[in-house]
Amino acid sequence: MGRGFVQGIGLKKGALASTIGHDSHNIMVLGVSDDDMQQAVEVIAEQQGGIAVVADGKLLANLNLEVGGLMSERDAEFVADSFSKLLEAAHACGVLIEDPFMFMSFLALPVIPHLKITDLGLVDVDIFSHVGLWI
């Protein structure tokens, strides 16, 4: 399990989790509460893929992506509505960036610069090396 610190997205409470994480599509979770992070991951694991926002022990929004953790069998209108609710929930938790889930998906992509969080840990793509969290 990789770990890292992320700053600048504005998250003040809760957790965001997603199975859309290029290229390995493992579960990625960002959060300020261990309990909320655990709950968000458990929701996604139970539904075998998707996106979830949890705050104060409550599931605020969720989208099941049951096809490989990347796609839904539901119609486009349902998916779009669910994704809008996810964005609203993320912003209600303090997120400042427009689409934190897109940000998360590329945070895990270790073929584009600079620092990436992978299942093997923090990677400095510029020097093709794992780096520690502490300087």
Whether residue 123 lies inside any domain: the answer is no
Whether residue 23 lies inside any domain: the answer is yes
Amino acid at site 5: F
Burial class (CB in 10 A: 0-12, 13-18, 19+), 80: exposed
Whether residue 28 lies inside any domain: the answer is yes
Whether residue 37 lies inside any domain: the answer is yes
Q: Are strands 58-64 and 115-118 parallel, antiparallel or unpaired?
A: unpaired
Per-residue model confidence (pLDDT) at position 135: 57
Whether residue 56 lies inside any domain: the answer is yes
* pLDDT (tens digit per residue) in 9-68: 999 999 999 999 887 778 889 999 999 999 999 999 999 999 999 999 999 999 999 999
Number of domains in the chain: 1
3-state secondary structure of 88: helix
pTM confidence score: 0.87
* pLDDT (tens digit per residue) in 68-94: 989 999 999 999 999 999 999 999 999
Cα–Cα distance between 134 and 7 in angstroms, integer?
15
Whether residue 58 lies inside any domain: the answer is yes
Whether residue 121 lies inside any domain: the answer is no
* Tokens 């770990």, residue located: 3
**57 lies in which domain range?**
15-110
Cα–Cα distance between 110 and 53 in angstroms, integer?
25
Whether residue 135 lies inside any domain: the answer is no
User: What are phi and psi for residue 7, nearest 5 degrees?
Assistant: -125, 160
